[in-house]
Each structure stands twice: as C-alpha cells, then as structure tokens.
Amino acid sequence: MFTTSHLIAPAIAPDGAPTLTGRLTLDVGHGGVVSARLRYSALGIVEAVLNGRPVSEAVLTPGWSSYEWRVRVAEADVTELITGDDVLELTLGNGWYRGGLTWMGATEVYGDRLAAVAEVRVVFADGHIQVWGTDESWTARASDTVVDDLYNGQTIDARRRDGTATPVAVEIVDDPEVRFEPYIGPPVVRQGFLRPRASWLSPSGSIIVDFGENIVGWTRAEVRGDAGQVVTLRHAEVLENGEIGIRPLRSARAEDRFVLSGGADVFEPRFTFHGFRYVEVEGWPGGIDALAEGALTAVRIGSRLRRTGTFSCSDPLLNRLHQNVVASTLGNFVDLPTDCPQRDERLGWTGDIAVFAPTSAYLFDVNDFLRDWMRDVVTEQLHHGGVVPYVVPDVLKYVGVPEDITPVDSTAVWSDAVVWVPWAVWMASGDERILADNFEGMLSHLRHVRSLLSESGLWDRGFQFGDWLDPDAPPSDPAAAKADRGLVATACLYRSADLAARIGRVLGRADVFDELAELGARTRAAFRAAYVDLPSRRLRNDCETSYSLAIVFGLLDDDEKAWAGARLAQLVAESGHRISTGFAGTPYILDALSSTGHLETAGRLLLQRECPSWLYPVTMGATTVWERWDSMLPDGSINPGEMTSFNHYALGAVADWMHRELAGLTALEPGYSRVRIAPQPVPGVDHAMTAFDAPWGAIEISWSREGSVVHLDARLPEGVTAEISLGGVREHVGAGHHRFSSELAPAIAV
C-alpha cells in the first residue's frame, strides 16, 4: 500500500491528541501537476488536513476493523489542494484503537501508542512522479484536543489554537505493512444537520436543548465568552422526570467540554460520537437567554450509503415506524453494523445484523458496507477455530464476557450471520462476490456446529442467546424466553445448512453438495423427532417463536403448516395481539401468519398500539427503534433493566415484511431481475407504496383499496420481469407501466 512512507508516532507523547506535521516541496522542472493522490491511515483515528483544508469529507478514518489483521487505508484526490510548498497535518484520536471499549471499561485494547502513515503521489505533466510521505523528518505537537474518547466525549481547548505548542520529533513505529489494505466499504461522513426544536430550563435549573430526533453524531457550538470558561454538553436520548436520562448510557459519559479562547470560537468534536436527541448545556455564557439561534447544531454522521428502498402507507403510525427503522439503520451503520450508538457498548453484535440484513439491504445499498464487515467476520472466525464470535471486531476476546455466556462458542442466530448476511445482500444486489468471499466461512461454521450436536442431532448443548429479549422475560434476565433454546438453535442450523446448500449451487461447489444435503436432512429429521407432535398437531414447545421458525424455515411439511399456522394465530389472539416473541422469532412471525392464511391476525399484530408492540414506541414519541419493547414505560419512566437502548435496529426487521407482503414486492431472483408483486392489504391500511432502486433501475409499486376492490399500479425497468398475484389476477409481465384491479376476499379473523 505504501512505497516509501513509514508508520510514525511522536517520540514523546504530547498532552492530548497529537498533530503530526510534514512539509512537501514539489520537484521543479516537470511542468504542472496533473494529479495528486493521498493515501493515509492510522492506529487510532486520523483527520488529514492539507494546507489548512480537510482532504476529505470522511470522519473517524480509518474506522474500526479487526486491527490485528487489517487496517484500512483511505485515499483522497488532493490535486486541487497542492500548491508546491505544502503542509500536511495528521491529527490523531484514540478511537477504537486506544480508547475505551465495552462495558468493562477496557482501554488500549489494541495498542497503547497512536501512529499514522501517509503518502502523496504526485504526477507531473511530463510524466515525472514524486512520492512523499511520513518519515523521520516530520514533527509532532499537541493539538487543541485535550481529551478524546468515543464513549466519554472530547475536550477541546480553543486557547491551544494559537500555534505556540512546542514541536517534538517523531520516530518510525515498527509495524508490519501487511496489515494495510484499501477500504471496501464507504467512509463515515456527515449526513445532515439539525437545529434545536426547543430549549428550556429543567427542574434542576439545567439548560435542556431538544433537537427533535434521536440521532448519532455530535453537537457543534458557536460561542463567545471569557478565556478559560468551560462549556459542557451532555448528551442523552430521552428525558426522565424533566432531566436528561443518562442511566441507559451506563458508564459512557457522552460529554463534550469546550474551553473558550476569549474570542469567537467554533467547536466541533470529531474524535467521538453520541446517540442523542437532548443536550444538557452547562456553563453557557449568559445562560439560556444568550443561547442564540444557530449557536448549537446537531451533526448527524453515518456511513455513506445510497438509499434504495422506500415505503409509505395510509397509516401515519406505520409510516413513522418505517422512518424510525431508517433512522436506526443510519445511526448504527457507523463504519460497521452496531447494536447501539450511545452506551458503553456500540459493538458489532452478529445476531442483530443476522436478522436485520434483509431490511437494511432493501433500504440502502449495503453491498460494499457489509462485504467490508464480513471480511472481519471470516478473519475473526479463522482465528477462533471456526467459531463466529458474538461481536465483530471481536474485542471481547481481550476483555472477557460475563460468566453466564462463557466459554464463547458458536450460538444460533449470532453465528449464523456468516450465512444469513451474505444471502440477504446477494438477493438484493445480485453481486456474487459476497457469496464467494464468505463461502468457506459458512462451511467452517456449519462443520463446527456439527461437532457440537448431541447424539440426537439437535443443537441443544452449550450456551445460546435463544429468543433474546422475549417480552415476558424479566428485565434482569433477557435470555429467559418461552422458546426452547435447543429448538431455536436447531431450526437456525437447518436454515443455515439449507441456505449454504443453495449458495453452493450458485458457486458451483459440487464438492460439498452431499455434505450440506446430509447435514440439512439430518437436522430437519432431528427437529421433527424432538419437537413436532403429529398426533396432537402441536409443537412440543408451544409458543409463538417456535411456530414462526418452524413454518418460515421449512421444518414442517406443507400439510402441517396449516395446523401450525392456526395454532400460531390462536396464540397471537390469546396474547391480545401483542408481541410475545424476542430477537429470534419477531422477524418471522408476520411471515408465518400471512403465509398460512392468517393475514388479518398479522395485520392486527402489526397495527397493535399497546405494549408490547411495534407501534407502542411510536405512540410514546420514538424517532428510532428501541432495544426493548418497553424501553420506556407508559408513565414515562425508563425501563429498569440494565440494557435499555432507544436506538437498536433489530426489532425493526418487521420493515422487511412491510416491503414484501404489505406493499407487495419480493425478489425471486438475486438483484430483483425477477420479482413477485403480490400486495397483501391488511384491515386498517387502505393504500401503500414501495419503490426499490434495483441494479436494473427503479421498481415502483402502489396499491389502493376501494371497498373490496384493490387497484394495483406497477412500473418495471428494462431487465426486470414480474409475477403479478392480486386476487384472481395471475399475470407475467415485463418492463413498462402496468395496472390491475381485483376484488379481494376479506381476511379471516382470529
């Protein structure tokens, strides 16, 4: 990646975040500069500035990867910034490399020394090439950042911007070049800006600022005051008893401190980020009366993703739910798919993205984003003896995990991400690279799990998260679900074996056809023998998640799905059409109901407003998806459980059903080259639309209801064919604008 440049670090660590400075003088006599490109990276996070101007819109570079084996390198076109006598500055933050990680309070997990590398390649008009970069000639000095941490925040002292910091020498850091590789995924960038919606004094007298939406990023401040005066901003997602609710943050302080210079200062912390809607302001000169319009701006950040899928319908609460799913995707796709963005965690939990991948791949082009993350999945797996860890990058292997989930081994849903995520991305994008890149990892996962099975063929040994966060589980024990953990795990193993077999056929891997077919058949037979009670027409673990997985994953024969669906619908009705499933069952329960003829029951479950339900948080003012169905209780108090995030996308996986079944667009071939258009209107929704920007172009569908008649409008680009199913209409169509109408029989109530 780098030809002559070296990884460098300050010889003596300065106070706070260091700025490394190098000076470039262009070679003369070769004509003008045709192009200049900068490659740069760091152990830590780095902001590169050339001649006083940022080289890129990217922030938090180079992000978080499995640093032991790969560190990504950013590249920027700096042709317009080169002058001939140039100064390149690299300011380093602790980031994920050296800063705080996990709820155990670990620091310096990957190393105790920040370092950077950069190289500029200049091409002149006569073909001459000059290469310049980091070496011993550079210097280091203290920047205006005194303290920085992703969880705790950043302290910036504007008095240190006067240029009087004493420079010190740098030295080359001995580090293997093999770790550096190009980005596959997109950079993290600023996504937008929010002005305050309101500000007021809390009961304790604190200034509270409300930005109106729960976002991920930081707050920029423009302020004037006495030199040395400190303004402190504390960030939180919700209010409780009129004050910012900081208990869900656990040990994360989420606090930025700005030390004023005595003049007009602008502060923007870029070596931290927070999940927040509300900001508590302390020390503002002149108090709330002087908090002028424009003084505070919320900066939303996230990986740069192209929006591909949209949805809307006649129900405003469903629309808000869908907007919340989009917001939680953006907020948790900050370089990698995290569980939450605000507390002392923010880890790449594999189970969350395993169930959410289809939704994210419809809403955004996540092909490169998830291909990049999957490189870390299979790399970590390779060093774990075939085990896909709970989180990727796997920081837990250094800091430990709670005793009740050790020793770390393969676990259903979470470890199945190595199969489920590539499948979802491939179906949306049609790009086989993600299948080819990860197929060996899929095989390694399945072979390892096969070694864990009991003699009966069930995956009923070892730790399992199971149907995590079942709403009937106590707040202190989120794994205490109604669903049998062995049933959940065995069902997931069958799904992974089945998908891997299909992927093997796509890739032409005839060498593993028999192995995967045997594993799938054996697992399905073991599941049926243990859990399917044919005489009673029940599952022996008689709960909603069990029926949902058995139906959707194909563990029941076609004639058995009828009684399973009927029993599932009965259980949903007995629960008052409230959610009774956790992480494992929730993404599939609506499919299980609608595919067995219980659309009305699915609709009542979807549109339920009482807790627990998808719409309950919406009625409570949520602008993102919550971790728990009752993260906030009806009285406005925060759930007493230790894990209470207000920005967790996993339960937003319901949007996948809204796209496919309610709106009616399903991919039958990867990349949406062949689709099924089959809207399933539920009582209470009178019209819906969805659009997906496929590789072939935009696919647009809308339908509306007039009494018992449904009118369908579909637009297909060239290269896409569709199977239309609407009441009595059964058509195959190609590119163009198509309209159909049909009378639909009323849904059967349960």
Cβ count within 10 A of residue 398: 14
Q: Which residues are catalytic?
A: 345, 627
- Residue 258 has φ and ψ, to the nearest 5°, of -120, 120
Nearest to 720 by CA among 736, 740, 703, 741: 736
Element spanning 265, H or E: strand 264-267
Helix (H, G, I), strand (E, B) or coil at 742: strand
Nearest to 91 by CA among 45, 128, 28, 37: 45
Separation of alpha carbons 648 and 626, rounded Å: 5
The answer to whether the CB of 526 falls within 8 A of the CB of 456 is yes
Q: Which residue has the tokens 């060093």?
A: 383
Separation of alpha carbons 30 and 506, rounded Å: 52
Judged by phi (left if over 0) then psi (alpha if -120 to 50, else beta), residue 469 lies in left
Q: What is the DSSP string of 27-83?
A: -SSS-SEEEEEEEEEEESEEEEEETTEES-SEESBT----TTT-EEEEEEE-TTT--
Cβ count within 10 A of residue 165: 18
Q: Which residue has the tokens 């093997």?
A: 504
Cis peptide bond N-terminal to 612, omega within 30: yes
Strand partners, 532: 539
Distance from the first to the final alpha carbon of the chain: 62
Nearest to 432 by CA among 504, 335, 516: 504
Q: Which residue has the tokens 């990058």?
A: 393
Separation of alpha carbons 239 and 40, rounded Å: 41
The answer to whether the CB of 233 falls within 8 A of the CB of 281 is yes
The answer to whether the CB of 368 falls within 8 A of the CB of 185 is yes
Separation of alpha carbons 10 and 168, rounded Å: 7
Separation of alpha carbons 174 and 357, rounded Å: 39
Planar angle of CA 674, 678, 680, nearest 5 degrees: 150
Structure tokens at 308: 């591909």
Planar angle of CA 472, 326, 420, nearest 5 degrees: 65
Spatial neighbors of 489 by CB under 8 A, at least 6 apart, are 411, 412, 458, 459, 460, 464, 466
Helix (H, G, I), strand (E, B) or coil at 118: strand
Radius of gyration of the chain (CA): 27
Cα-Cα-Cα-Cα torsion 371, 377, 378, 381, nearest 10 degrees, comes to: 180
Separation of alpha carbons 232 and 382, rounded Å: 44
The answer to whether the CB of 549 falls within 8 A of the CB of 584 is yes
Helix (H, G, I), strand (E, B) or coil at 688: strand
